[in-house]
Structure 1
Amino acid sequence: MVPRCQIEVLYFAKSAEIAGVRSETISVPQEIKASQLWQELETLHPGLADVRNQVIFAVRQEYVELGDQQLLLQPGDEVAIIPPISGG
């Protein structure tokens, strides 16, 4: 069985509105795909499904798309839900 760890999830912009919180601590498997982590968050806050295609994660301040990348999380890691960043 994969060990679980507590991580801090930070919500910004629309994701914070949907979740109703700016941050929360959740328990997830230490080894988890980015897409599976998003599924865990959608289970907690079903409305997040609306922004799934508009956000990316920042794990330890490194950007990660919501795909099949394997994440190796450490207890206390911060995972931020980053809204679209407009550039130009």
Structure 2
Amino acid sequence: MTAEVLVLYFAKSAELTGLKSETVSFQSQLTTLQLWQELEKRHPKLSAVREHVVLALRQQYVAVGDQQVILQEGDEVAVIPPLSGG
């Protein structure tokens, strides 16, 4: 099964994709790493933030890794790259 999800891009990820948001269809059950890899396939430039990016699913932070997630139609995924500043 697949789910249509709204992906929000913030800061550097918005620069790299040229988008603030888009609707993407994903497998409904996958790991956060698989979710990230799907986004990287769509937008190869995202690899620039791979090591430091954090995802938020339904406004809850999730690390990119082995964590299983179940996406539901209409869910929101945010791509939050590291913030620079000092």
Same fold (TM > 0.5) = yes
In structure 2, C-alpha distance between the alignment counterparts of 1:67 and 1:78, rounded to whole Å: 18
Deviations 1:38-73 (A, max 9, x none): 110001000001101111000001000000100111
What's the counterpart of residue 47 of structure 1? Answer: 45
**Residue 68 (str. 1) matches residue 66 (str. 2):** yes
- Which 5+ residue runs of structure 1 have no aligned equivalent? none
- Which 5+ residue runs of structure 2 have no aligned equivalent? none
What's the counterpart of residue 34 of structure 2? Answer: 36
Runs of 4+ in 1 over 3 A off after TM superposition: none
When normalised by structure 2's length, the TM-score is 0.93
> Which residue identity does 2:79 align to in structure 1?
I
In structure 1, C-alpha distance between the alignment counterparts of 2:35 and 2:6, rounded to whole Å: 12
In structure 2, C-alpha distance between the alignment counterparts of 1:57 and 1:19, rounded to whole Å: 15
- Answer yes or no: is the 8 Å Cα contact 2:6–2:77 preserved in 1: yes
The alpha carbon displacement at 1:85 in A equals 5.2
Q: What is the Cα-based RMSD across aligned positions, in Å?
A: 1.1
When normalised by structure 1's length, the TM-score is 0.91
What's the counterpart of residue 11 of structure 1? Answer: 9
The alpha carbon displacement at 1:83 in A equals 2.1
Residue identity (%) = 56
In structure 1, C-alpha distance between the alignment counterparts of 2:64 and 2:78, rounded to whole Å: 12
